[in-house]
Amino acid sequence: MAWPMDKRVGLYLLVASAVARPEIARADALELPARAEAQAAPASLYANLTSEEAIAELLRRKIPFEAAEAPGVRDPIRLSGPLHGVVIHSSLPAGQRKATPFEILDARLALALDDFAAILRNHDVTELVHFTIYRPSDDAHEGSATVQTRHPGGMAIDVGALRKRGGALLTIQAHWPPAIGERTCGPGARRLPSRRGRELMSILCEAKDLRLFHAMLTPHFNRAHHDHLHLEIKPETAWFLVH
């Protein structure tokens, strides 16, 4: 189904305001495939799994994890080992990582990150450093059964840097200078000045082509994203935003 431009722009603004208000809106950053196509995307397949299905898939893939507790997260876990050889951890010192809530994620996001790690492995990446995954909501309380989305639901990650075998570090802040409103992937996309920046963009666009996440926000989106990539999956979602 073809979406008229006025409806695309209106939906873009609605989606963008729900994710994080942009300074400049790009209607072409929003992809609206047919519903059946959207539901078949990995991001949607993972986000809509039941608890039993999500845990069973983690076990089937032999993804290393430990159960955790986090108000607002449907199936909270911690990764206890690498995914496809890629270690995923926060920027906190190693001694603080096991206790911080920022490393808790929902089982569904772990499946999307497992696919993303396969892309990273192909780029010789061995380490992903993030700022946060889970961030408690002001509305989430101990014992609450209310399931959240985005960071309060453990369904989003803010990627700050990637380390390659040999030690080379690709950081969003250093290698992806902000340019709000620029196109990120596809024809007319911005060409970043450094080789490391171009590799970061290539990795992101490969994940976009596979539809691993519903929302992928970059330094092209707004000032708040000048130093990280926000990657998110969301249940009952038929759109894909890459900006």
pLDDT-derived band of residue 137, with 50, 70 and 90 as boundaries? confident
pLDDT in tens, 155-176: 999 999 999 999 999 999 999 9
Q: What is the phi/psi pair of residue 80, to 5°?
A: -115, 10
Say what the pLDDT of residue 207 is. Answer: 98
Q: The pTM is what?
A: 0.90
Q: Which residues of 134-172 are buried (b: 16+ CB within 10 A; e: fewer)?
A: bbbbeebeeeeeebbbbbbbbbbbbbbbbbbeeeeebbb
Say what the pLDDT of residue 56 is. Answer: 98
pLDDT-derived band of residue 126, with 50, 70 and 90 as boundaries? very high
pLDDT at 3 over 60: no
The tokens for 65 are: 């994890």
What percentage of the chain has pLDDT greater than the value 90? 81
pLDDT-derived band of residue 146, with 50, 70 and 90 as boundaries? confident
Mean pLDDT score, 189-194 = 96
Say what the pLDDT of residue 12 is. Answer: 55
pLDDT at 217 over 60: yes
Nearest partner of 63 among 98, 104, 114, 97, judged by Cα: 114
Nearest partner of 22 among 187, 212, 219, 237, judged by Cα: 219
Nearest partner of 67 among 106, 112, 117, 114, judged by Cα: 106
Say what the pLDDT of residue 147 is. Answer: 80
142 vs 153, residue with greater confidence: 153
Picking from 4-18, 49-63, 70-84, 183-197, which range would have the lowest pLDDT averaged per residue?
A: 4-18
Say what the pLDDT of residue 17 is. Answer: 59
pLDDT at 45 over 90: yes
Cβ within 8 Å of residue 221, ≥6 positions away: 20, 22, 180, 230, 243
Say what the pLDDT of residue 8 is. Answer: 55
CA distance 15 to 20: 9
Say what the pLDDT of residue 179 is. Answer: 95
User: What does pLDDT average to over the chain?
Assistant: 90
Domains for the chain: give ranges and CATH numbers: 7-30+58-242 (3.30.1380)
Query: Euclidean distance between the first and final Cα of the chain, in Å?
Result: 22
